[in-house]
Structure 1
């Protein structure tokens, strides 16, 4: 990556075409930052959720689980009264003693449009227009998926256990050795593949590393596009790995897991918060082995929680996109 020099800023960097991959709260964090710097933004979202409102709608109506798609759309709403109101409505959950209990309003809206229009992508685009969303939201696959993981509990010689379902994989307390999707060769969303091929930058993470981020690399057409695109690739590391599927994993372990599941994928930049890095030199070496340079920036909120600050993260992405990779 060429360091930034005055007057050398590429034309696209003022409003880059960015594709962000992931799901859940992690993808919401990156989208909340990226929408502050570009309106040429596409979220490519996992469709393997099998829990809560999404799982119930998936089972009852045989549709893509809408929850992660809903969260991405909410994150793309602007800070106007219109945007805040519609974002809150999408995220609103009913509380009752009946069948509506804990269903998210946005999930119902999305699924209703899918039934009305008969087209998943068109339905999501309609929701985006209604919200005034700053970007587009697409599923990573055109069919609902199941996540499977081979997990090892205890020492290296301990037997592997297969965990089935995204909700169970996300909460496992074992070390994930291998990740799979069912079906093993799912069709990608064509529009998502094209967005990756047309992008200036692709952002992977933060988020549930295995069940929301790495699963994108297991959809063959999408994985091929991620390898073939002329876009540069930025990996955003998590702020903590205290519980669930990444409990005890270091920042270096996260990159090694990415390399294991996509050994040929070249990365241009790795973005990390200093508070989440145990070995800066080791992480820089791990990034370099994938072709990337390490960017260390404080992107955590100032309230002590393991949550990203949208403005700080946006500033960090701006440095990444402009090639300003020195420590600040």
Structure 2
């Protein structure tokens, strides 16, 4: 037996043995590196995990494949699958493989292997969900990855002060890559088409979950878009699952420059006024002052939620989540705010 195959079998045995009968059914929503951070933490505490991923990316390898083949952008789906790979040889080998980007002077330059694999399976199978499940099986992923919609989406944003010489003018900019780096202040985001169909499996996962985790991630381009898909939004409002919102460690240049933690919640509420939360999770060092913490608690109350402050950042000074610390925070929240006794 190869070292990798042996490592895979060991990982599977450990996974089966972990907390039998007591694992919550968790759905994590988002996109990009924020969702990856959340998944890397959540896979450590539950074996019943589903990622629901935005499909509005229009930059890089994903944008090129989307433009050329008319497919969903695969990049954020690939990142989610990589985050769900285990820490053994099998998982880490496949994580590196699907994240590998070609370097050349030709058309393959900067394409990610995983993007090509996912698109190839879409073309072979003609089914987004079946293909992603097959990739997950190949990787030995600790969970399932689903797109939030079955059609490619365009993200548009209403931006105030996009032109510095006209600070009060509101203009509309288009494209996720553009929105993420836009100058000015984003007021609101929209999807085109405005009423995209949700993937049924994603809706069902949210409906049947014990916990739904939203964020962290790019607020306007990865977190809020889930609230703009009508059926998914309705299900998030109506589900009996408890909901935790995980805040970013720092404002994102371009998208949320100057935003306080409280402002993030106010923007979320503006886009989804009927959505209620149970817990807002923030890094304690990202909300340092008493006034800022009071403001965050008041904003959370408007969403019917409480605030949990915990150390979840890496200790190297970079604004990145530590997977072990974030996992500990999620586990504590699930135990303190969840039902008493075994999960399903």
Q: For this structure pair, what is the TM-score category when the shorter chain's length is used for normalisation?
A: over 0.9
CA RMSD of aligned residues (A): 1.7
- Identify the residue that residue 243 of structure 1 maps to in structure 2: 253
The answer to whether residue 103 in structure 2 is matched with residue 95 in structure 1 is yes
The answer to whether residue 277 in structure 2 is matched with residue 267 in structure 1 is yes
**Shift in alpha-carbon separation, 1:99–1:313, aligned structure 2, 3 A:** same
| TM-score of the aligned structures, taking structure 2 as reference length | 0.89
What number of residue pairs does the alignment pair up? 315
**Shift in alpha-carbon separation, 1:13–1:224, aligned structure 2, 3 A:** farther
Deviations 1:218-246 (A, max 9, x none): 00000011001000000000001151201
Give, in angstroms, the shift of residue 174 of structure 1.
Answer: 1.4
Asked whether the 8 Å contact 2:25–2:209 carries over to 1, the reply is yes
**Whole-angstrom CA distance in 1 between matches of 2:337 and 2:242:** 14
- Identify the residue that residue 73 of structure 2 maps to in structure 1: 65
**Whole-angstrom CA distance in 2 between matches of 1:156 and 1:282:** 31
Q: Equivalent residue of 2:150, what SS? A: coil
Runs (5+) with no aligned partner, structure 2? 1-18, 339-344
**Shift in alpha-carbon separation, 1:257–1:13, aligned structure 2, 3 A:** farther
Structure 1: 4+ residue segments shifted above 2 A: 11-14, 154-157
**Whole-angstrom CA distance in 2 between matches of 1:157 and 1:151:** 10
- Identify the residue that residue 7 of structure 1 maps to in structure 2: none
The answer to whether residue 317 in structure 2 is matched with residue 307 in structure 1 is no
- Identify the residue that residue 206 of structure 2 maps to in structure 1: 196
Asked whether the 8 Å contact 1:53–1:102 carries over to 2, the reply is yes
| TM-score of the aligned structures, taking structure 1 as reference length | 0.93
**Whole-angstrom CA distance in 2 between matches of 1:315 and 1:155:** 47
Q: How do residues 216-255 of structure 1 correspond to structure 2 at under 5 angstroms?
A: 216-255=226-265
Give, in angstroms, the shift of residue 207 of structure 1.
Answer: 0.2
Q: How do residues 33-44 of structure 1 correspond to structure 2 at under 5 angstroms?
A: 33-44=41-52
**Whole-angstrom CA distance in 2 between matches of 1:285 and 1:156:** 33
**Whole-angstrom CA distance in 1 between matches of 2:166 and 2:277:** 29
Asked whether the 8 Å contact 1:149–1:169 carries over to 2, the reply is yes
**Whole-angstrom CA distance in 1 between matches of 2:124 and 2:43:** 29
Runs (5+) with no aligned partner, structure 1? 1-10
